[in-house]
Amino acid sequence: MQAANQVYQVTFHNSTLWWVATIGGAVLGMVVANAAGIEVSGWAQTALFAAVVAAAVFLGFRLARSKGRIELTPTEIRLTRDSQPAKVIQRADVESCAARISDDGYAKLLLRLRNGQRAKIVLAHSSGNTTFDELAEALGADMSRV
């Protein structure tokens, strides 16, 4: 791996939070609509259900994406999300790194650590974005694996 002091501004994606927010939002929306005594039928019921699901999906995407940065120093990799404390991975603990852009459009970095654990970093990726390629290169990632 290269030894460099580099900072990358990225958008992290948390798929677990996306699923929880989307399903929870849809269920909660339907419960609230039912508890409020909203009685609709036919196309109006379909439209209400579609609106609740669309709002839940939108909320899920908003909550699952968070701005952050990845800072590479000669000795460590620091992952900082919004105002949360940084997660630090010692570069000496990284055995290998693989990177790819998946079919769902997310950029994924998989770090294999010497203690057998794996650290997965999932980033929102937009086409034409060179940040991921630069980051993968700086980490010495094997772009053919994962």
- Output the CA angle 146-137-1, nearest 5 degrees: 90
Give the H/E segment covering residue 76: strand 76-81
Q: What is the pLDDT of residue 1?
A: 47
Write out the two tokens for 29.
Answer: 């929306």
CA–CA separation, 51 vs 107, rounded Å? 30
* Half-sphere exposure in the Cβ direction for 131 (13 Å, CA): 20
pLDDT tens digit sequence for 95-135: 988 888 887 778 888 889 999 888 888 887 654 466 778 88
CA distance 119 to 112: 7
What is the sign, positive or negative, of the torsion defined by CA atoms of 29, 55, 23, 25? negative
Element at 42 (helix H, strand E) = none
Confidence of residue 145 (pLDDT cuts 50, 70, 90): low
Q: Rounded to whole angstroms, how far apart are CA atoms 84 and 68? A: 9
Q: Is the pTM of this model over 0.85?
A: no
Give, in order, the Cα–Cα distances in Å from 139 to each of 10, 50, 66, 104.
15, 43, 22, 23
**Rounded to an integer, what distance in angstroms lies between the CA atom of residue 32 and that of residue 35?**
5
Domains of the chain: 6-13+66-138 (2.30.29.30), 15-63 (no CATH)
The pLDDT tens digits for 7-58 are 888 888 888 888 888 999 889 888 888 888 878 788 888 888 899 899 999 9
